[in-house]
Amino acid sequence: MLSFIQKRFALSHKGARDFVIGTLWTMVQNLALMLPAVYMFSFLDDYLSSVFNPFVEVKNGLRYYILLGVGFMFLMFMIAIFQYRSTYTTVYEESANRRISLAEKLRRLPLAFFGEKDLSDLTSTIMEDCTDLEHTFSHAVPQLFASILSILLMAVGLFIYNWQLSLALFWVVPCAAAIILVSKNIQHREFFTGYQIKREVSEHIQEGLETIQEIKSYRQEASYLRTLHTAIDRYEKQLIKGELLVGGLVNSSQSFLKLGLVSVIIVGANLLFSRSIDLFTYLVFLLVASRIYAPMGEVFNNLAALFFLDVRINRMNGMEALAIQQGTTVFDPENYDIEFNNVSFSYEEEKQVVKEVSFTAKQGEITALVGPSGGGKSTCAKLAARFWDCDGGTIRLGGYDIKEVDPETLLEQYSVVFQDVVLFNTSILDNIRIGRRDATDDEVMRAAELAQCDEFVRNMPQGYHTVIGENGETLSGGERQRVSIARALLKDAPIVLLDEATASLDVENETKIQAALAELIHEKTVLIIAHRMRTVAKADTIVVLDGGTLVEKGSHEQLLAKKGTYARMWQIQQDSAGWNI
Tell me the three-class secondary structure of 6-29, residue by residue.
Answer: HHHCCCCHHHHHHHHHHHHHHHHH
Q: Which of 51-60, 150-159, 431-440 has the highest mean pLDDT?
A: 431-440
Residues 30, 150 contacting (CB under 8 angstroms): yes
Question: Mean pLDDT throughout 555-568?
Answer: 89
H or E element in which residue 503 lies: none
Could you tell me the pLDDT band of residue 337, with boundaries at 50, 70 and 90? very high
Question: Torsions phi, psi of 367, nearest 5?
Answer: -110, 120
Q: Which has the closest alpha carbon to 19: 89, 102, 76?
A: 89
- Cα separation, 143 vs 22, whole angstroms: 9
Residue-level pLDDT at 57: 61
pLDDT mean over 81-90: 85
What does the DSSP 8-state code read for residue 394?
Answer: E
- Output 117 or 11, whichever has higher pLDDT: 11
Superfamily of domain 2-321: ABC transporter type 1, transmembrane domain (1.20.1560.10)
- Give 70: exposed, middle or buried? Use CB within 10 Å, 0-12, 13-18, 19+: exposed
328 DSSP assignment: B
- What's the pLDDT score for residue 120? 64
- Looking at this protein, which amino acid is placed at residue 503? A
Alpha-carbon gap, residue 55 to 403, rounded angstroms? 91
Q: Is the pLDDT of residue 506 over 70?
A: no
| Residues contacting 540, CB < 8 A, separation 6+ | 362, 365, 366, 367, 555
pLDDT over threshold 70, residue 534? yes
**Which of the four pLDDT bands, split at 50, 70 and 90, describes residue 574?**
confident
What pLDDT does 208 receive? 86
At residue 432, the pLDDT reads 92
CA distance linking residue 299 with residue 295, whole number of Å = 6
Can you give the pLDDT at residue 393?
92
Going by pLDDT thresholds of 50, 70 and 90, the confidence category of residue 340 is very high
The full DSSP string for 64-117 is: HHHHHHHHHHHHHHHHHHHHHIIIIIHHHHHHHHHHHHHHHHHHTS-HHHHHHS
Confidence (pLDDT) at 350: 64
Adjacent-strand bridge partners of 360: 339
Q: pLDDT at position 320, please?
A: 77
Say which residues have a Cβ less than 8 Å from residue 241's Cβ, sequence separation at least 6.
190
Note whether 2-321 and 338-576 share their fold: no
* pLDDT of res. 312: 77
Percent share of the chain, pLDDT over 90: 12
536 neighbors 528 (Cβ within 8 angstroms) = yes
Interatomic CA distance for residues 523 and 527, integer angstroms: 13
Distance CA 264, CA 384 (A): 76
Q: Read off the pLDDT band of 46 (50, 70, 90).
A: low
User: How many angstroms separate the CA atoms of 234 and 237, rounded?
Assistant: 5
Write b or e for each residue in 199-230: b if 16 or more Cβ atoms lie within 10 A of its Cβ, otherwise e. bebbbbeebbeeeeeebeeeeeeeebeeeeee
DSSP state for residue 404 in the 8-state scheme: G
Instruction: Give the model confidence (pLDDT) of 117-151 as tens digits.
Output: 666 667 777 777 777 777 777 777 777 777 778 78
CA distance 487 to 482: 9
* Run of H or E including 124: none
Contact between 464 and 427 under an 8 Å Cβ cutoff? The reply is yes
Q: Where are the domains of the chain?
A: 2-321, 338-576
pLDDT in tens, 410-460: 989 998 887 778 888 899 999 999 988 889 999 999 888 888 888 888 888
Rounded mean pLDDT of the chain? 82
Length of the chain equals 581
Q: How far apart are CA 145 and CA 312, in angstroms?
A: 19
**CB of 33 within 8 A of CB of 73?**
no
Q: In what order do the strands lie in the sheet with 338-348?
A: 351-361, 338-348, 392-397, 400-401
Burial status of residue 535 (CB atoms within 10 A of its CB: 0-12, 13-18, 19 or more): buried
- Residue 451 near residue 482 (C-beta atoms within 8 A): yes
Please check the confidence at residue 222 and state whether its pLDDT lies above 80.
yes
Lowest-pLDDT range of 261-270, 281-290, 513-522, 549-558: 513-522
Q: Average pLDDT for residues 206-212, to the nearest whole number?
A: 82
Residue 422: its pLDDT value, please? Answer: 84
Task: Name the residue type at position 468.
Answer: I
Could you give the angle at which helices 141-161 and 130-139 cross, rounded to 10 degrees?
20
Chain centroid to CA 141: how far? Answer: 21
The pLDDT-based confidence of 52 (bands split at 50, 70, 90) is low
The model's confidence at residue 505, banded by pLDDT at 50, 70 and 90, is low
What distance in Å separates the CA atoms of residue 491 and residue 257, rounded to the nearest whole number?
Answer: 69
pLDDT above 90 for 371: no
Distance (Å, whole) CA 554 – CA 8: 57
What are the residues whose beta carbons fall under 8 Å from the beta carbon of 274, sequence distance 6 or more?
none
Percentage of the chain with pLDDT > 70? Answer: 90
525/63: higher pLDDT: 525
CB of 433 within 8 A of CB of 453? no
Q: Tens digit of pLDDT for each residue in 261-281?
A: 888 889 888 888 888 888 878
What is the structure's pLDDT at 396?
Answer: 93
Q: Is 338-576 in CATH node 3.40.50.300?
A: yes
Look up residue 496 and give its amino acid: V
